Amino acid sequence: MAARRLGGSSWQQVVSLSRRCCLPGGRRERYRCSSSSTALGKTVDNSEVTQEEIVLPRRKTWGKLAVLQTLASTVNKDPTAAHYMFQDDPFLMPRNAANSRLFSLSKESGRNAAKYIIKQFPQYFDKTFAEPNIPCLMPETFTPQIEGVSEEALKERIHLRRVKDSVDLFDQLVQAGTTVSLETTNSLLDLLCFYGDGESTPEKEKEEEDLEEPGVNASEQKAPKRQFQRGSQSSGSRWRENNNAERIFKIMPERNAHSYCTMIRGMVKHGASAKAYDMYIDLLNERHKADVHTFNALITAVPYLKERFLERWELAKVFLNHMAQQEVQPNLLTFNALLKTLRRCGGVGRSMSLLAIKEMEALDIEPSLATYDHLLFIFYRGADLCPSGIISEVLDDVEKRSFTPQDPDDANFFGTAMQVCCDLKDIKLAYQLNKAMEKGDNWKFLDMDRLNAYWSKFFSLLCMMEQIDVVLKWYKEMSPSHFYPTPKNILDLLQALDAANHLEAIPSVWEDMKQLGFNRRQDLLQELLSLMSREQHPEEIQLAFAKCAEDIKAVYEQSVREQALLEWTGSALGHVALLFSRAGRTQDAWNMMERFQQINRIPTDQVMEEFLNCAKQTNCPDEAIKLVKLAAALGLPSSQRLKSRTEKEFELSEKQKKTLESIKSDSDSSDSDSDSDSDRE
Amino acid sequence: MPLSPQTRAARVRVGKGDKPVTYEKAHAPHYIAHRKGWLSLHTGNLDGEPGAAERAVEDAFLRRFLYGTFPGVLADEPVLKRRANLLVVCAVLARGLAPAKLYFLVGYAETLLARFYKCPVRLELQTLPAKVPYKYL
């Protein structure tokens, strides 16, 4: 039946088609492979080959391990595929970093749209027919159940994170005269200090879902601590004067240590560091003890309290001494906060940070990636650098362990470390860092943006330091699966190709540039053209270069509607004309030459000479004469020389000789101006 | 046994010759398992297996949902495959919308259907330049 459909007569076609049709659910599978040619295309090729005679192929013998080897080759990462979250289709695959970001964000916003619909109409989604029930797929209830003015209702609203409702209810309770217990007031203060008196938005509620636990106090205790660290970078709200938290704090009949601690942490999070310090003094006056989280917050606030480096370190030491006096055990976050403060302490920081690390070891606290990140920053990214070998020690430590996230600053470690490797121009350290990243769970610290930046820096380092074949091998493997090259990466790659005298790879780099969307960048185009036109190359490379030049010419001439028209520069025009001339495309080269007048630039002598050579090879004396006319019209000093060359090297007819003569008088009359601006602007 | 000439189920009637028809639509239901595959694959119709009717209702809902969510770009009937708890929707789309918009719809459809049917739902797309006509009827 298939053979009838195609009208093919060869039995080989029938065999190959029926083999395809026998796949289960067959029809769909044939459409599925977008990368290989369609079934129709393949059979057409076959028919062309086997039209005359039937060639029986030789029987293939496979080695014993062939199947295992083939299976093993499918297990590794596919270097041509995009990230798993994208659909495997050429239209839907992102080609550059901007697209990949756009697609992943639009997918996420689609998810948010679905969640919004489910929140609006929970009645359609709440039938529990799954066995066992899956709570994460059920709609969440956000409306408070208990009505009326009572402490229970207040506790529930706090639990649901409704800031404004809780405050209103609290005020109502106080006015009605009922005393609210200390615990509940403290949890209300926790809520207010966490949100800084702004309303909790639905996005924030999503983040806390996994942290919610049955006990109200227990959850408040744990939740603000972890979110405080995250929130301190992202909180946009500032601590207003006499906001709800302060007001409630003042009217509280009795306060315990927890109240003070919450207020301090809230003030530090939202930027009121001086107030936090005053509150801490109050706490000491009341002879309360602060907890470890409060001390962490205070240490983080030190750079905002003092200006000079030494003063900052002294204040931090004061806090640490108080910690020791109040017998509060420091934890990992204490030391990370200390190192973060030392980042802003310049030279003092360098000496003191090592002491901090020794303390950590003495207390048996394992450092996290954030610790190492702060260390690297202190030693390598400060203003005045002195060489130190700390990075190798850090890398030796990091590559032994697989880390778990313990501090939000952990995510910055790999980026900082790669930056340091690039600054030190040490490729071996970079390889070691890569190995550390691949160990265990460490790769999870790099999200899409950080991953791109990391690999981008690594690739720049490779281009600088390694041989060209290693560079090309990495390039083939890494893009587009690991990262999308930035314009700087492409420039580095071109320079590496230049250094290794491997310029014939340039047309393929141009193809990649088009795919990445960099084909309208002036700097890249200039670099590409100058590299291609610098020297003479063998024949087929020259033809490939000319094709590239034609593409680039199309880029310059096309005006896409959103983007402005790219302006021709003199050098670009000259290079394109040169490339056309070397490939023997006289007509195209002449088109280029004509444009010089339009943009008010003058071609270099080299360009003119090459054009004349090309005209001689392709035997077009007319073009040569047109060139001489152009040179005379522009008033170039070389026009005489070109004229004499034309007379000598070309076989001219009588008419042509006469036209050539007539040009002579034009050039004599006009004074060749020596200050004609060359095309190198 | 030969079919009655009055059967009208799932057949596109022959017209002037200007109506493009896909392979799926061009073949009548008696060609299933001969020239066509199935559009919905599940174990409900095997001997002793429950849930055939529920799967049929789910299929009907899913096809309407997809027809509405991807307006105008659905090039052919989507194929629904059920593997254990997972529901895989394989759809062939035309390139009528920008890829970012398609990803938005994919995220939306996956999340909504997963919450609705309480099972993981995966959407696997393939794009074509246009609908592929098999015949003109």
SS3 labels along A348-390: HHHHHHHHHHHHHHHCCCCCCHHHHHHHHHHHHCCCCCCCCCH
CA A158 to chain centre: 39
Q: Select from A4, A5, A10 the least CA-distant residue to A45.
A: A10
CA distance A164 to A182: 20
One-letter amino acid at A412 equals N
Would you call B97 an interface residue with chain A, using a CB distance cutoff of 8 Å? Answer: no
Q: Closest chain A residue to B85 measured between Cα atoms?
A: A130
Q: What is the pLDDT at residue A152?
A: 83
Mutation target among A6, A21, A88, A91 for the B interface, most CBs of B within 10 A: A91
Q: How far apart are CA A17 and CA A23, in angstroms?
A: 11
Question: DSSP label at B87?
Answer: E
**pLDDT the model gives residue A129:** 85
A contacts of B90 (beta carbons < 8 Å) = 28
Question: Residue A103: which of B100, B110, B125 has the nearest Cβ?
Answer: B100
The mean per-residue pLDDT over the stretch A426-446 comes to: 86
Contacts of A89 in chain B (CB under 8 A): 125-127
Pick from B90, B103, B127: which is nearest to A107 by CB?
B103
pLDDT value for A384: 54
CA within 13 Å, CB half, A380: 23
The DSSP code for A467 is -
Q: Which among A91, A103, A118 is the nearest to B115, CB-wise? A: A118
Please tell me which of the candidates B105, B114, B116 has its beta carbon nearest to residue A110. Answer: B105
Q: Which residues contact A298 (CB under 8 A, 6 or more apart)?
A: A264, A268, A276, A277, A280, A290, A319
Q: How big is chain A by its Cα radius of gyration, in Å? A: 36
pLDDT value of residue A197: 67
Q: Does B71 reach chain A within 8 Å, measured CB to CB?
A: no
Of the two residues A501 and A214, the one the predictor is more confident about is: A501
Q: Give A103's contacts in chain B (Cβ within 8 Å).
A: 99-100, 103
pLDDT in tens, A527-577: 888 888 887 778 888 888 888 888 888 888 776 655 666 777 778 888 888
Instruction: Give the distance from residue B110's alpha carbon to the nearest chain A alpha carbon, in angstroms.
Output: 8
Chain B residues with CB inside 8 Å of A28's CB? 37, 79, 90
- Name which of A8-12, A285-289, A347-351, B86-90 the model is least confident about: A8-12
A424, A457 Cβ separation under 8 angstroms = no
Of B92, B99, B112, the CB nearest to A31: B92
* Residue A357 C-alpha from the chain's centroid: 32
What are the distances in angstroms from CA B129 to CA A34, A193, B74, B94? 12, 56, 12, 6
Tokens of A3: 């053979």
Q: What are phi and psi of B20, to 5 degrees?
A: -75, 140
Residue A679 or residue A303, greater confidence: A303
Whether the bond between B129 and the residue before it is cis, its omega within 30 degrees of 0, is no
Among B95, B106, B126, beta carbon nearest to A107: B106
Say if CB A671 and CB A636 are below 8 A apart: no
| Cβ atoms of A532 and A577 closer than 8 Å | no
User: Tokens 């403290």 identify what position?
Assistant: A186
**Range with the lowest mean pLDDT among A341-345, A351-355, A613-617, B25-29?**
A613-617
What is the residue-averaged pLDDT of chain A?
A: 77
Q: What is the pLDDT of residues A76-88, one digit of tens each?
A: 777 778 888 899 8
Is the pLDDT at A198 greater than 70? The verdict is: no
Task: State the smallest CA–CA distance between residue B28 and chain A in angstroms.
Answer: 16
pLDDT digits (tens, 9 = 90+) for A608-655: 787 877 777 777 777 777 777 777 777 777 777 777 777 777 777 777
Helices A448-465/A468-478 angle, 10° precision: 160
* Residue of higher predicted confidence among A501 and B108: B108
- Does the beta-carbon distance from B108 to A103 stay under 8 Å? no
The pLDDT of residue B134 is 94
Asked if B118's CB is within 8 angstroms of A129's CB, the reply is yes
Q: How far is B7 from chain A (nearest CA, A)?
A: 25
Please choose, from the candidates A485, A565, A544, the residue with its C-alpha nearest in 3D space to the C-alpha of residue A518: A485
Q: What is the pLDDT of residue A145?
A: 72
Residue (of A217, A314, A308, A222) closest to A256 by Cα position:
A217
Long-range own/partner contacts, residues B75-81 (CB < 8 A, 24 or more apart): B75/B22, B75/B128, B75/B130, B75/B131, B75/B132, B76/B22, B76/B24, B76/B131, B76/B132, B77/B24, B77/B39, B78/B39, B79/A25, B79/A28, B79/B39, B79/B40, B79/B41, B80/B39, B80/B40, B80/B41, B80/B42, B81/B41, B81/B42
Inter-chain residue contact A89 with B127, CB threshold 8 Å: yes
pLDDT band at A30 (very low <50, low <70, confident <90, very high): very low
Give the closest of B100, B112, B127 to A114, CB-based.
B112
- For A181, residues 6+ apart whose C-beta sits below 8 A from its C-beta are A151
Q: Give Cα A182 to chain centroid, integer Å.
A: 49
Q: Is the model more confident about A590 or about B88? A: B88
Chain A positions touching B110 (Cβ under 8 A) are 110-111, 114
Residue A528: both structure tokens together? 């590409």
- Of A177 and A206, the structure prediction assigns the larger pLDDT to A177
Give the single-character DSSP code of A562. S
> Between the CA atoms of A572, A578, A580 and A582, what dihedral angle is there, to the nearest 10 degrees?
-150
Q: Binning pLDDT at 50, 70 and 90, where does residue A305 land?
A: confident
DSSP structural state of residue B74: B
Buried b (16+ CB within 10 A) or exposed e, A100-113: bebbbebbeebbbb
* Residues whose CB is less than 8 angstroms from the CB of residue A510 and which lie 6 or more positions away in sequence, other chains included: A519, A528, A548, A551, A552
Task: Please give the residue that has the higher pLDDT: either A525 or A106.
Answer: A106
Q: How confident is the model at residue B116, as a pLDDT?
A: 94
Query: What pTM value is reported for the model?
Result: 0.73
CB-based contact, A206 to chain B, within 8 Å:
no
Contact A413, A394 (CB under 8 A): no
Higher-confidence residue of A449 and B32: namely: B32
Residue B136 forms contact with A (CB below 8 Å): no
- CA A324 to chain centroid, in Å, comes to 44
A125 and B126 in contact by Cβ < 8 A? no
Helix axes A487-499, A522-533, angle to 10 degrees: 10
Q: Is the pLDDT of residue A364 over 70?
A: yes
Which of A14-18, A238-242, B52-56, B70-74 comes out lowest in average pLDDT? Answer: A14-18
Q: Dihedral angle at the C-alpha atoms of A474, A480, A482, A487, nearest 10 degrees?
A: 80
Q: Following DSSP, what letter does each residue of A427-466 receive, concatenated? A: HHHHHHHHHHHHSTTGGGG--HHHHHHHHHHHHHHHHHHS
- Distance between CA atoms of residues A234 and A240, nearest Å: 17
- pLDDT at A237 (0 to 100): 60
Q: Measured between beta carbons, which residues in chain A are less than 8 angstroms from residue B99?
A: 91-92, 94, 99, 103
Contacts of B107 in chain A (CB under 8 A): 106-111, 113-114
- Looking at residue B82, what is its pLDDT? 95
Q: Is the dihedral of CA A290, A296, A302, A305 positive or negative?
A: negative
From residue A84, alpha-carbon distances to A100, A105, A332, A485, A534 in Å are: 11, 14, 35, 19, 43
Residue A392 contacts by C-beta under 8 Å, 6 or more apart in sequence? A429
